[in-house]
């Protein structure tokens, strides 16, 4: 990863150098000749080239020349249509359109195939527009090989998937067995036996939640989660969650109050994923709240957003902690806010809300009031009754 970071810096340097060199200049043959003599540009450890808006390559450095298996003299007379495999040209044109439209640097990861090279490779492709005054005259393209990074990523994915599967199977079996014992299937239990098995069940459930959280995070990070949005009544969903969570509040004599002014309120979102967020925030509030204190769930809306928040009484969280509380693997003395203390619970909740194009937030005040919530964009189909 250190090597990849270094190459990215080199790529950015190449783009910056090209940009500064071309800024406020016209593209002339003598200028291209001058660029070719710039040894620092020519020998950077990343492949890059400069082309005009018609796709004609005007300059390419040594790494790119070696990459496409062509001579420098031949390459700088060719169009990208003659260099790239037809399979990749469509995505190249689409990326160019974005660069020209936004007039900003674009970075993507993709597989590339060159006409004279049979083997495909993965690259981080960085594209930047070059300006002459306000007009774009061409595009600088930097290619950084990330084959090793992709191989490590695939190994990591395989490891996580295998590990969580291997852990989930025995944990599920343990939970099933303990539940049967608690239900008296194998005979009546005395109070001491019942209490010990209840603790065992809590431990197994903790492990099950931990595995599910890791797996969900893995799926989100690698784009394996797609939203299945639908119209659903969020009032009914929150009521369902409150009822199922009451047993968790008994230990510390807490209460859950749903402050709701609507009989129904329909939203357009992924019901299962939103349920996960609310369950996560509520379970963390239950864990962190003072004993004998109320936990409130509220539902509000304005012209832009539908706001769901959970308010409780607890020790104040410093502002510095609030800024990073949704970060991955963030663990501090307040990490109880992250489910199962993995540092993934709130991070996962943020991924879900971000995927919905919403906002997640956390607030904490001197009087002990703590609020965690999220806002979903108000769609045309949202309906209150």
Quickly count helices (H) and strands (E) in the chain: 12, 13
Q: Which residue has the tokens 């309906």?
A: 383
Q: What is the pLDDT of residue 83?
A: 87
Q: What is the pLDDT of residue 28?
A: 43
Q: What is the pLDDT of residue 329?
A: 57
Q: What is the pLDDT of residue 33?
A: 47
Contacts of 150 by beta carbon, 8 Å cutoff, 6+ apart: 122
Burial class (CB in 10 A: 0-12, 13-18, 19+), 253: exposed
Q: What is the pLDDT of residue 25?
A: 45
Q: What is the pLDDT of residue 376?
A: 94
User: Residue 81: enclosing H or E segment and its boundaries?
Assistant: none
Looking at beta carbons, which pairs linking 293-296 to residues 24 or more positions away fall under 8 Å?
A: 293/254, 294/254, 294/255, 294/256, 294/257, 295/249, 295/254, 295/255, 295/256, 295/257, 296/256, 296/257, 296/258, 296/259
Class of domain 2-145: alpha beta
Tell me how far apart the alpha carbons of residues 83 and 89 are, in angstroms, rounded to a whole number.
9
- Check if the beta carbon of residue 283 is closer than 8 Å to that of residue 245: yes
Tell me how far apart the alpha carbons of residues 166 and 291 are, in angstroms, rounded to a whole number.
37
Other CB atoms closer than 10 Å to residue 241's CB: what's the count? 18
Query: Is CATH 3.90.550.10 the right assignment for the domain spanning 230-384?
Result: no
Tell me how far apart the alpha carbons of residues 96 and 129 are, in angstroms, rounded to a whole number.
9
Other CB atoms closer than 10 Å to residue 258's CB: what's the count? 15
**Nearest Cα to Cα of residue 99 among 130, 122, 76:** 130
pLDDT tens for the 385 residues of the chain, in order: 444 455 555 555 555 555 545 444 444 444 444 444 456 667 677 888 888 999 999 888 888 888 888 888 888 778 988 888 877 888 888 899 999 999 888 988 888 888 877 678 899 999 988 887 788 888 989 888 888 888 887 777 777 777 776 777 788 888 888 889 888 888 888 988 888 888 888 778 777 877 777 777 777 766 666 788 899 999 999 998 888 788 778 878 899 999 888 888 999 999 988 998 998 899 888 888 899 999 999 999 888 899 999 999 988 888 888 888 887 655 545 444 444 444 567 888 888 899 899 999 999 999 989 999 999 998 755 555 5
Q: What is the pLDDT of residue 365?
A: 92
Q: What is the pLDDT of residue 382?
A: 54
Contacts of 335 by beta carbon, 8 Å cutoff, 6+ apart: 341, 343
Radius of gyration of the chain (CA): 28
343 φ, ψ to 5°? 80, 15
Strand, helix or coil for residue 285: helix
In the chain, where the domains are located: 2-145, 150-221, 230-384
């Amino acid at each position: 990863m250190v090597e990849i970071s270094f190459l990215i810096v080199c790529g950015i340097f190449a783009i910056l150098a090209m940009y500064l060199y071309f800024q406020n200049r016209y593209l002339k043959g003598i200028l291209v000749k001058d660029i070719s003599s710039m040894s620092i540009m020519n020998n950077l450890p990343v492949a890059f080239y400069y082309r005009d808006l018609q796709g004609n390559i005007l300059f390419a450095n040594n790494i790119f020349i070696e990459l496409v298996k062509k001579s420098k003299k031949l390459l700088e007379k060719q169009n990208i249509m003659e260099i790239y495999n037809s399979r990749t040209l469509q995505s190249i044109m689409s990326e160019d359109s974005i660069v020209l439209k936004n007039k900003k640097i674009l970075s993507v990861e993709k597989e590339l195939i060159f006409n004279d090279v049979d083997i495909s490779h993965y690259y981080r492709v960085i594209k930047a527009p070059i300006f002459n005054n306000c007009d774009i005259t061409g595009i600088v393209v930097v290619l950084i090989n990330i084959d090793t990074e992709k191989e490590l990523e695939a190994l990591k994915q395989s490891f996580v998937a295998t590990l969580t599967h291997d852990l989930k199977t025995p944990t599920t079996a343990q939970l099933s067995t303990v539940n049967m014992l608690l239900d008296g299937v194998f005979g009546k239990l005395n109070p001491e036996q019942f209490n010990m098995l209840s603790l065992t069940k809590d431990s197994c459930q903790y492990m099950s939640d931990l595995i599910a959280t890791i797996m969900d995070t893995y799926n989100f990070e690698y784009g394996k989660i797609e939203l299945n949005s639908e119209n659903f009544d969020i009032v009914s969903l929150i009521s369902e969650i409150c009822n199922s969570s009451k047993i968790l509040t008994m230990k510390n004599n807490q209460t859950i109050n749903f402050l709701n002014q609507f009989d129904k309120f329909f939203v357009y979102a992924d019901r299962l994923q939103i349920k996960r967020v609310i369950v996560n925030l509520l379970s963390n509030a239950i864990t962190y709240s003072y004993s004998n204190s109320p936990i409130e769930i509220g539902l509000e809306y304005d012209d832009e957003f539908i706001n769901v928040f959970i308010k409780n009484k607890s020790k104040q969280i410093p502002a510095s902690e609030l800024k990073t509380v949704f970060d991955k693997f963030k663990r501090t003395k307040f990490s109880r806010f992250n489910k199962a203390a993995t540092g993934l619970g709130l991070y996962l909740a943020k991924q879900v809300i971000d995927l919905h194009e919403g906002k997640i937030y956390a607030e904490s005040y001197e009087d002990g009031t703590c609020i965690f919530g999220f806002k979903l964009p108000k769609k045309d189909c949202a309906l209150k009754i």
